[in-house]
Structure 1
């Protein structure tokens, strides 16, 4: 297993970019000429959550671009947070950076946004890695389990104790992801990127059965388990790095 103890001695470049009526901040490691790997954090987090992974991937020949989603980190606190707007922001950033192909990695809310990017720009996303993606219901009779008691307690603790994000963004995302999304389920079959779905094991509030349904819906997708709970890349960084590196090397 790869050892990842601390960020390597690489200075990240923090950039803030205007995109229409908002600004998006991102943190970049590696050569601007290297293949791009885009990292999208979960709700109530920021680009900093990827520092350890990004600094490990950069010496392997990747240009890592960790984005602060709107309402998080150094990006704009917006009036509203429709889920589609996160996708618009990310696509706008990648187009402004003139990226033709990219690996897109997302955790939790960021994984959902990554799936939207793969829908909207199939020619841009070469590989898609969905770490603990939220799984909305297919219809009103399909309980997605997002409001399991443990998840509610974790979400409440984030809202009370964490800083550096707009609480409205997190509350809005939870409400929207609770609604059935028939079209999202249908569009999973259109994803052309090679896809890896990562489940955090029994300690996760998401069920294996739900994530298996997502993996089955995406052509050729694979599902792996890393027993870490919801924060796989934070709690099992070496195992997550190995899973990502192996997937990209295949």
Structure 2
């Protein structure tokens, strides 16, 4: 599909009937990383996932702001033409979903946010230089998919498996689908801007899933739940940032319990 500012976005249809369920991946991810969850989510509606701009098979074109990328998600729902969606987002995708729910409540029936923060400004001891250093240390090209898994899979093997789906093979080896410079620009906004105002505007049913080893500041997702009327906060024991990949059974049980209670 083409966005209103002319950027091509790759949208993946996973099947299912009924109201749309839109899946939004995290930074450096892609739509197809949701495939294991789509096997059961298709019982709850028509499941779509989108490669965010600069990710997967979508065009690498800014602006790289949260507002623009949330607007992209809104346009996916509008072009699907099937009414308000259940929006499920991980990390960056959770932030985009939350801002979408705040700005376009007509398009969001319910919201699931996985391990996300709306304010990273100095709260975690990280800064943009840290992000540049981390991305700059990624050893591209990778000689094999096993090397991708090894580079990203410690201490959480599920992250290595996840990232092995987010590369493409070229003549000299495997490269990340997302350009490092683009990822740094996206992260730069998180180091400078907070989205607490959007939190206060969310009115749809909301599930907040937090990893035990979360990337969010301590207490942050509890505070999100306090500010969103009726929000349900669940901390999943034994998990890292990729809750849906690291604890798929617990993730499914929690999300399906939430979906079963929707009006």
Range class of TM-score, shorter chain: 0.7 to 0.9
Listed as ranges, the matches of 1:131-210 within 5 Å are: 131-136=114-119, 143-145=122-124, 147=126, 155-156=134-135, 159-160=138-139, 163-181=176-194, 184-201=195-212, 203-210=213-220
Q: Give the superposition deviation at 1:18.
A: 1.9
Q: Provide the C-alpha distance between the structure 1 equivalents of 2:187 and 2:135, rounded to a whole number of angstroms.
A: 11
Q: 1:130 to 1:158 in 2, by over 3 A?
A: farther
* Residues 1:235 and 2:220 are matched in the alignment: no
CA contact under 8 A between 1:134 and 1:177: conserved in structure 2? no
1:13 is matched with: none
Normalised to the residue count of structure 1, the TM-score between the two structures is 0.82
Q: Give the superposition deviation at 1:165.
A: 1.2
- Deviation per CA, 1:13-72, whole angstroms, max 9, x where unpaired? xxxx122311111111223x41211100000010111000012221x2421111100000
SS in 2 for 1:70: coil
Normalised to the residue count of structure 2, the TM-score between the two structures is 0.78
* Residues 1:68 and 2:31 are matched in the alignment: no
SS in 2 for 1:38: strand
1:101 is matched with: 84
Q: Provide the C-alpha distance between the structure 1 equivalents of 2:191 and 2:61, rounded to a whole number of angstroms.
A: 21
CA contact under 8 A between 1:146 and 1:206: conserved in structure 2? no
Instruction: Tell me which of 10, 13, 17 is aligned to 1:28.
Output: 13
* Residues 1:49 and 2:33 are matched in the alignment: yes
* Residues 1:92 and 2:102 are matched in the alignment: no
Q: 1:176 to 1:57 in 2, by over 3 A?
A: same
Q: Provide the C-alpha distance between the structure 2 equivalents of 1:241 and 1:160, rounded to a whole number of angstroms.
A: 34
SS in 1 for 2:105: coil
Instruction: Tell me which of 226, 236, 244 is aligned to 1:226.
Output: 236
2:164 is matched with: none
2:3 is matched with: 19
Please, which runs of 5 or more residues in structure 2 have no aligned partner? Answer: 141-166, 168-175
2:146 is matched with: none
Q: Give the superposition deviation at 1:206.
A: 2.1
Q: Provide the C-alpha distance between the structure 1 equivalents of 2:137 and 2:70, rounded to a whole number of angstroms.
A: 23
SS in 2 for 1:50: helix
Report which stretch shifted further, 236-245 or 152-161.
152-161
Instruction: Tell me which of 234, 241, 246 is aligned to 2:257.
Output: 246
Instruction: Tell me which of 89, 104, 110 is aligned to 2:93.
Output: 110
Measured on the aligned residues, the alpha-carbon RMSD in Å equals: 2.4
Q: Provide the C-alpha distance between the structure 1 equivalents of 2:243 and 2:134, rounded to a whole number of angstroms.
A: 17
Q: Provide the C-alpha distance between the structure 2 equivalents of 1:158 and 1:133, rounded to a whole number of angstroms.
A: 24
SS in 2 for 1:19: coil
